[in-house]
């Protein structure tokens, strides 16, 4: 599988004009009407921010194919597998490539990892409203102006400030997207609870131990990070917290209805470390498993 270590290498391979800065690439689809991505599976050593609509072809990132019919803002992190299939872009869109080395000695070098949407799947891209798209284009055009305006010692900081603004606005717009899809969120938490219930009833705890967020996300055809962010926005709790709550409910049933010890209860629920189970139980319930059981003893 091809790995592009540099932005220049990616540009040359796909017939794009050479980048002005080897660590920062800017490509508008209007400027590259004749450029088409070659069908290829590849990885890149840089971040990508893409505002895209596709005329034809498919774009696959992670497990999901996506055609960008409605236009969207997608965020890709370095070293993620990408598959382009005869992609032809529409005129309105851009690609912003940011090499990891471009972020060195800047706060974004660490801050960029805090934006969870870089771990989303492509079908979880940010769908912009017209006003939101105007804001993103305004910031992009400021980056483009600086990029082509005889770069000097101030250029990098100015460009990174605008990139940081794009990331912050995207965070805000994702919250709007979650809120607008509250019906979907309600459906997700219902399905989430059902999958957990089935996992318990079918002996999943005994066979495979504690269910992970990754397992739950796979069952729901979502990325782990998107699932957690969606649930957090809708319910105030992450996917992992919902798993813990379900486990505590199961623990309560065992403690009240059986004579199993706390350690046996922990092992039955898939915990390899009973003290960790006891701490989790106390955090959720307010008392230890032993103290909880004693409340129901005559």
- The predicted-structure confidence for 253-298, as pLDDT tens digits, reads as follows 889 888 899 999 998 888 888 999 999 999 888 999 999 888 877 5
pLDDT bracket for residue 61 (50, 70, 90): very low
Q: What is the pLDDT of residues 196-213, one digit of tens each?
A: 888 888 888 888 888 899
- Using CA atoms, how far apart are residues 231 and 229, in angstroms rounded to an integer? 6
Strands 82-89 and 40-44 come out as antiparallel
The full set of domains in the chain, from first to last, is 2-128 (2.60.120), 183-294 (1.10.10.60)
Which one, of 247, 246, 229, lies nearest residue 238 by Cα?
229
DSSP classification of residue 260: -
Q: What is the mean pLDDT of residues 41-65?
A: 67
Q: Which residue has the tokens 């990892």?
A: 113
Count the Cβ atoms, other than its own, within 10 Å of residue 22.
15
């Amino acid at each position: 599988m091809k790995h592009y270590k540099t932005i220049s290498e990616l540009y040359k391979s796909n017939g794009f004009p050479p980048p002005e800065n080897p660590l920062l690439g800017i490509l508008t689809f209007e400027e590259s009407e004749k450029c088409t991505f070659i069908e290829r599976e590849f990885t890149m050593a840089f971040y990508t921010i893409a505002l895209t609509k596709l005329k034809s072809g498919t774009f696959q990132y992670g497990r999901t194919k996506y055609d960008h019919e409605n236009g969207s803002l997608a965020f890709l992190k370095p070293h993620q597998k990408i598959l382009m299939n005869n992609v032809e872009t529409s005129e309105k869109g851009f690609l912003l490539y940011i090499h990891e080395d471009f972020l060195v000695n800047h706060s974004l070098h660490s801050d960029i990892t805090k934006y969870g949407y870089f771990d989303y799947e492509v079908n979880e891209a940010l769908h912009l409203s017209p006003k939101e798209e105007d804001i993103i284009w305004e910031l992009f055009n400021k980056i483009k102006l600086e990029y082509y305006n005889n770069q000097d010692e101030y250029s990098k900081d100015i460009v990174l400030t605008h990139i940081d603004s794009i990331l912050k606005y995207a965070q805000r717009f994702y919250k709007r997207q979650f809120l607008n899809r509250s019906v979907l969120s309600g459906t997700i938490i219902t399905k989430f609870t059902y999958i957990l219930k089935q996992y318990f009833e079918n002996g999943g705890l005994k066979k495979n131990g504690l269910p992970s967020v990754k397992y739950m996300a796979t069952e729901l055809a979502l990325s782990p990070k998107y699932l957690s962010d969606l649930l957090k926005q809708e319910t105030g709790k992450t996917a992992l917290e919902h798993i813990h709550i379900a486990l505590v409910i199961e623990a309560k049933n065992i403690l009240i209805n059986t004579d199993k010890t706390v350690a046996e209860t922990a092992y039955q629920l898939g915990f390899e470390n009973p003290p960790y189970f006891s701490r989790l139980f106390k955090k959720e319930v307010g008392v230890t498993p032993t103290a909880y059981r004693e409340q129901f003893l005559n």
